[in-house]
Amino acid sequence: MGRIENHKEDLVNQIAEHYSAILKLVGEDPEREGLRKTPVRAAKAILDITSGYRSEPLTIARQAIFEHAGSQMVIVKDIEFYSMCEHHILPFFGRVSIGYIPKGSMIGLSKLARIVDSFARRLQVQERLTSQICNLLDEAMPTDGVIVCCTGEHLCMKMRGVEKQDSATTTFDYSGRFAEEPTLREEFMRLLNC
């Protein structure tokens, strides 16, 4: 079963007009056979890619907070993400790993992936994406610390500019005991096999 699109037709048409104008400006004919439907398809795609603007990550998180008496580290590794660089409007993508130390509560694991998507599906920079995820989890529930590791590949470095094909960027943010105790950060890294 395919995904159901739920785009407002008026908004799609407005965006499509701009894509049609861009095609003309770069030297293409938006009326040629292969491009006739491209402005509408591109409009729907950009709405999907930026769907994070129409979601509320804190609400997502708070839908699945449960009591938990444990105090050991919880890690969800390798949550894939796709985003768009706000500087060039080119894709960047990769994986996010999140760890936290519960303090009387825990979050449903699928919500962590939804939170990542909510922030990633906006015009973004990787550094902000990493800190937004960390800060949101600190706000959404009581913890003894949160740590987020994000590794991404940026097409603005691979397709244009310096054109370095094998480059990747890793960013971290952390709070609570992860900020105070380097051994906890080291344990998180070891468990990620970094």
CA 175: distance to chain centroid? Answer: 20
User: Which is catalytic among the residues 124, 126, 134, 150?
Assistant: 126
> Is 86 one of the annotated active-site residues of the chain?
yes
Supply φ then ψ for residue 53, to 5 degrees. -65, -20
List beta partners, residue 104. 68
Catalytic residue among 17, 56, 80, 86: 86
d(CA 23, CA 32): 11
Catalytic residue among 68, 88, 153, 187: 88
Closest of 101, 150, 120, 131 to residue 51, by C-alpha: 120
Annotated catalytic residue within 124, 149, 150, 154: 154
63 annotated active-site: no
Q: Report residue 91 as tokens.
A: 């894709």
Q: Which of 7, 28, 153, 156 is catalytic?
A: 156
Active site residue 87: yes
Q: Which of 56, 87, 127, 181 is catalytic?
A: 87
Catalytic pick among 85, 134, 149, 150: 85
Residues noted as catalytic:
85-88, 126, 154, 156
